[in-house]
Amino acid sequence: MDSSQLSKPAPTGSVVSPNEFFESIGKKADDVAPAATAEDGEDGEDGRKVVEEIESLCMNCHENFRSQTQGTTRLLLTEIPYFREIILSSFSCPHCSFKNSEVSPAGSIQPLGCRYELRLTTPADFQRQVIKSDTANINFIELDVEIPAGRGQLTNVEGLLRGVLEDLEVGQPARKTLQPKVHSKIEEVLEKGGKMLKGEGFPFRVVVDDVAGNSWISPDMRDGVGKWEKREYPRTPEQNESLGLAPTDANSTTTVQPSLAEAATASLPATASQVGRGNSLGGEDIVPNEVYSFPASCPGCSHSCVTHMKMVEIPHFKQVVLMSTVCDACGYRSNDIKTGGEIPDKGKRTYLRAEGARDLRRDILKSESCHLKCPELQLEVNPGTLGGRFTTVEGLLTQVRNDLHGQIFETGQGGDGMVPEEKQRWDGFFDTLDIAIAGEMAFDIILEDPLAGSYVQKLGEDGVTDRQVTEEEYERTEEEEEELGLRDMKVQGYEEGAEGKRDDGEAKETAS
């Protein structure tokens, strides 16, 4: 990019934000439109180029050294609705006709990795926009094909699948002679993939997993449960090291800085440091409403940080643990809530009828495993989306609104990258949500939690009855128990199994 444009002073009395370099495509098109009829041929009213062009060396033919004409790299800085800033780049060589195009994230590596899963059920799902960064893996589960991390792409699901099939088809005639078994296996994949493209293989799933958190699959407000899913996860030390975030010294990844560890425990009792090694302090139970701090590793940058923990007793419910982590090195912040106690035999559904401002002030606990639904608001929050939250009804709806609005209308141009019908649907959704947050309409909230770890405050005199809150237990489905790992748990007789294995091992050593 021309550095003179980046350093161009702003007009007197105005402030230029760095985000103005990453305008939406609709705004850039508006800038180019006046130039189409201009006689001077400039790219915009102020002469600013929408697409930057840079003369570059062609790495395919190296013809630059022997000719006056060079290859051209074009850069477009833009912003994607639902997502963030990206850089689109393309290169073309006039000598050998070599062409290349890539997409790169313009922001920094995100604090958490991300995993998107889309279940395709109709031909329209092929048009879902996909951003694949150079650190993302893509997996077509039913096709059993994975695209490894490599060149960044801005495409859709159909483009990804066609690209995979075209790459697999290259070299098939030679494989038929040299590697007949491999050829037959690839032919099976090509046949199955072709049926998918024709709409004969529904449903099937595509997964985008990016340790840097810079990839994305576009959602749709009509997506139901299990259709589109996003999960964020902390990176492992190995993943951080692959991104260049972790120290290269292996010892430094496991050693806590003494100064930070001392700072974490300096203001606590002498036994508080034991919290990092177990659930008790010197043989005593953790004291409720007492804040404990212990050293930890930041999931964003792997530097040492401090995690704070506090146990709170919710009246007429159970004990919960509040967790908070702050990293001074990269600014990463997180907070979460975990419910205590044993896993119940059944799940629980809680129904709340919110009729006014009084109900918006109710305390509500949404656990990480809870599925939240508001039929009147056309709102569904899948398990794991917001993590655990202990707030009020108004606070929960406000957080959902802000998170969604920030992703969808992040460009500041009203989401002009969306088709008008889709933008109109989102506008109507947010308008209805705003009316509910203001307490001007009645609506229902349904909390469906397979671990029975969610709670809504009851406003009756005894604190346990409320005509607007009803609860019911239900049997968990096999899918829920499999998702929660309950089918793999063995809570009785596991000591006997361990002793049996130990006795067998001792017998073998004696025999040898």
pTM, to two decimals: 0.55
Spans of all domains in the chain: 3-105, 113-233, 249-266+284-339, 347-488
- Digitized pLDDT (tens) for each residue of the chain, 512 residues in all: 343 333 344 444 444 444 556 666 566 666 665 554 444 434 544 555 678 888 888 888 876 655 666 788 888 887 766 556 778 888 888 888 888 888 877 767 888 889 999 999 999 999 998 989 889 999 999 999 999 988 888 889 999 999 999 999 998 999 989 999 999 999 999 999 999 999 888 999 999 999 998 888 988 877 877 788 888 888 888 888 888 875 544 444 333 333 333 333 333 333 333 333 334 344 456 788 888 888 887 876 777 888 888 888 877 777 888 888 888 887 788 888 887 777 888 899 999 999 989 999 999 988 888 889 999 998 888 887 777 888 899 999 998 888 877 666 654 444 455 677 877 888 888 999 999 999 999 999 999 999 888 889 988 877 778 899 999 999 988 888 877 777 776 666 656 655 555 555 555 555 44
Superfamily classification of domain 249-266+284-339: ZPR1, zinc finger domain (2.20.25.420)
What CATH number is given for 113-233 in this structure? 2.60.120.1040
Please count the CA atoms within 13 angstroms of the CA of 116 that sit on its side-chain side.
23
Helix (H, G, I), strand (E, B) or coil at 350: strand
CA–CA dist 116, 451 (Å, integer): 24
Pairing assessment for the beta strands 284-285 and 291-297 based on DSSP bridges: unpaired
What CATH number is given for 3-105 in this structure? 2.20.25.420
> Same CATH fold, 347-488 and 249-266+284-339?
no
Q: Provide Rg for the chain, Cα atoms.
A: 28
State the pLDDT at residue 111: 82
Q: Which amino acid is at 32?
A: V
Read off the tokens for 107: 């922001």
What CATH number is given for 347-488 in this structure? 2.60.120.1040
> What would the DSSP string read from start to end of 258-270?
HHHHHHHHTTS-T
> In 3D, which of 82, 92, 120 has the Cα closest to residue 207?
120
Helix (H, G, I), strand (E, B) or coil at 162: helix
> What would the DSSP string read from start to end of 65-119?
GG-S--EEEEEEEEE-TTS-EEEEEEEE-TTT--EEEEEEE-SPPPSSEEEEEEE
Burial class (CB in 10 A: 0-12, 13-18, 19+), 315: exposed
